[in-house]
Amino acid sequence: MDKYSQLLSHPAWDQARERVLRQLFEALMFEEAFKKATIKGDLISIPAQGIRTGTEVSYCCRIRETHSFARHRIIEGPWRVEGDRWQPVTDLAQVLNELSSNIGADPARLKAFVSELRSTQIKQAEVLAQRGQQPLRTLSFNQIESRLTDGHPYHPSFKSRLGFTLADSALYAPEYAPIVTPLLFAVKQSAAVVSATAEMPFSDVIRAALGEAIWDLYQQQLSSRALNLDDYLPLPVHPWQWDEVLALECHEAIKSNEMIYLGQLQGYLPQQSIRTLANAEHVENSNIKLSMSLVNTSTSRVLAPHTVANAGGISDWLADIVAEDNYWQDQTRRPIILKEFFAVAYKPAYSSQNGYGAASCIWRQSIQSQLMEGESALPISALIYQDHDNHPLITPWIDQYGTHAWLTELFQQVYLPVLHLLWKHGLALESHAQNMMLVHKQGMPQRVALKDFHDGVRFKKEFLIDHSYLERLAEAPAEHSAVNPNSFLETLDADELRDFCYDALAFVNLAELAWFMEQNFNYSESMFWELFARILKDYQQSHPDLNERFKLFNVFAEKVQIEQLASRRFQPEIRQRVIEKPNPLAPYRAGSEHE
């Protein structure tokens, strides 16, 4: 309890609470969740009902409207106002309960949301209290991935990790940079869903996934039990997942040899996504993404079997498209597709509530294995990171190359390729910052690396150029869609496809960078979006053959649909909960090919 009590009195506690409150109020304002609110000048007043007193109260903040999607940023506050008393907000549960009628919250879902926010606050406070002093810019790629402490810059539940205790966090959370040792099982192929790249024989895929040392161990362990190698598939399991879920769910499978424990893997370093692990000793070896039955940023972190089944096919599809597209004739500019080249999900004949997707693994190429000589990589989410020396991580690059020149190359080499894939090929990637990596030479952007495709790609068949890969893909089963209606491959129309791509790329990703550049480098948001618009218009003017596609997927539209990430936590789950917002590119559409 001493450590716990010290945390509650540490400055990090207040810092974490202030950030959760700021992101909560900013999200609720952006998503127009308040039925009643009054803005006078830069002060917003939101009426509420005092829970204990039954009297009318209000929550107030000083705000600033930004150029990016007309989002309001909090400059000061929030305060709770009762009569003449203005007090800083200190209790997350009190806030949401007093605002519940104003936001029309479902009572049961609101309680769950409160738990997410409370969990986020204490876990973020613990991370901040133990934050190291060494600047991240001096570390390796995997170390940076692990020690990025900020989480989602918009979602208020950016570090909820429901299911993790504080002790679990110390053992497995990436910010503590622990070495995690996954357990290795073999599962009967007849009880598994499997996906693999078609570019090499299946046995070679398994060998490449495991690496030589573990491949030898895997063969020896099965042979010593007189089991046929062809009847089983390897399945790494996160140690937390075994302790918390699978030990309780899989005892019959272990007893019947449907699952066989073979030993432990080497040490791995958890990455930003917590369930993705990088080989700590051999960085060129594949990363592994493991099922974890926890909720983080309001999303369950299991790996559904139908998404596992799609991993290899989608990866081959994207890799072939990029390899064959003559837009990238210069190999040094060609995007890197980090292929999910092998995936296994245990799918027993009789599933339980906790068992669906609870034992899965996806093997993905590591960025280190794909870099050319002289190239380095950085997670895109690190571009807005305030480093431990109180300077932005990217400061040395901006100082060396200049803001305008550096941003021009960033837009051209990193962000434009995502829209090229949409316009030319009809494929929308969920390219938020965690799914993208900047490949650079001494800080100057060279190209982009893209990842996380098994449940992060959307299309509509009639807009595809190539249909040959569709037969390898599986749609979500009805029972899964009933629980998670957001898990689907095909969109309803062109606008939904554009918005899936544009929401992640422009709102979750670029809008945060635009604000960061204005706050830290005096490069205004309007200048930022105008420059991005110019890059896009130059591309469009040099590709007249795609004019109809530019009209179909119009990124200069006046309005776009943005997902309501916070509201879906206290409202009933539906297929798409979105809100229409002004597009920051729209003011610069003059001269575009769909004007």
Which residues, in sequence order, are CB contacts of 251 under 8 Å at separation 6+? none
The answer to the question of residue 281 being in a domain is yes
| Number of residues assigned to the chain | 595
Q: How confident is the model at residue 593 (pLDDT cuts 50, 70, 90)?
A: low
pLDDT tens by residue, 34-49 = 999 999 999 999 999 9
The answer to the question of residue 282 being in a domain is yes
Q: Give yes or no: residues 57 and 203 share one domain.
A: no
Q: In whole angstroms, what is the distance from residue 234 CA to residue 217 CA? A: 11
C-beta of residue 61 within 8 angstroms of C-beta of residue 76: yes
Provide the edge-to-edge strand list for the sheet that holds 259-264. 232-237, 183-188, 259-264
Q: How confident is the model at residue 468 (pLDDT cuts 50, 70, 90)?
A: confident
Rg (alpha carbons) of the chain, rounded to whole number: 24
Q: Give yes or no: residues 52 and 105 share one domain.
A: yes
Compute the average pLDDT of residues 547-559: 97
Q: What is the CATH number of the domain that holds 456?
A: 1.10.510.40
Looking at residue 571, its pLDDT comes to: 87
The answer to the question of residue 160 being in a domain is no
The answer to the question of residue 151 being in a domain is no
Of the candidate ranges 50-59, 197-206, 318-327, 500-509, the one whose mean pLDDT is the lowest: 50-59
Q: Give yes or no: residues 80 and 204 share one domain.
A: no
Is the per-residue pLDDT at 573 higher than 80? no
Q: Give yes or no: residues 34 and 138 share one domain.
A: yes
Q: Give yes or no: residues 351 and 389 share one domain.
A: no
pLDDT tens by residue, 192-237 = 999 999 999 999 999 999 999 999 999 999 999 999 999 999 999 9
Q: Give yes or no: residues 462 and 356 share one domain.
A: no
The answer to the question of residue 154 being in a domain is no
Q: What is the CATH number of the domain that holds 87?
A: 3.30.310.280
Q: Give yes or no: residues 399 and 284 share one domain.
A: no
Q: Give yes or no: residues 221 and 124 share one domain.
A: no
Q: Give yes or no: residues 525 and 562 share one domain.
A: yes
Strands 336-337 and 444-450: parallel
Looking at the structure of the chain, the number of domains it has is: 3
Average pLDDT value over all residues in the chain: 93
Element (H, E) at 586: none
Is the per-residue pLDDT at 161 higher than 70? yes
Choosing from 111, 129, 146, the residue where a domain stops is: 146
The answer to the question of residue 164 being in a domain is no
Which residue spans within 84-125 are E strands per DSSP?
Answer: 85-88
Q: Which domain holds residue 4?
A: 1-146
CA 68 to each of CA 362, 398, 515, 527: distance values in angstroms, whole numbers, following the listed order: 35, 22, 8, 11
Global confidence as pTM: 0.95
Nearest of 423, 417, 463 to residue 546 by alpha carbon: 423
Of the candidate ranges 374-383, 458-467, 570-579, the one whose mean pLDDT is the lowest: 570-579
Bigger pLDDT: 573 or 185? Answer: 185
Compute the average pLDDT of residues 482-508: 86
Compute the average pLDDT of residues 173-192: 93
% of the chain surpassing 70 pLDDT? 97
Q: Give yes or no: residues 138 and 200 share one domain.
A: no
| DSSP state for residue 477 in the 8-state scheme | P
Q: In whole angstroms, what is the distance from residue 575 CA to residue 43 CA? A: 34
pLDDT tens by residue, 410-425 = 999 999 999 999 999 9
The answer to the question of residue 153 being in a domain is no
Provide the edge-to-edge strand list for the sheet that holds 444-450. 336-337, 444-450, 436-441, 376-379
Q: Give yes or no: residues 498 and 353 share one domain.
A: no
Q: Give yes or no: residues 18 and 140 share one domain.
A: yes
Which residues, in sequence order, are CB contacts of 194 under 8 Å at separation 6+? 233, 308, 309, 343, 344, 345
Is the per-residue pLDDT at 95 higher than 90? yes
Choosing from 105, 131, 146, the residue where a domain stops is: 146
Choosing from 326, 347, 364, the residue where a domain stops is: 364
The answer to the question of residue 530 being in a domain is yes
pLDDT tens by residue, 524-550 = 999 999 999 999 999 999 999 999 999
Q: In whole angstroms, what is the distance from residue 165 CA to residue 170 CA? A: 9
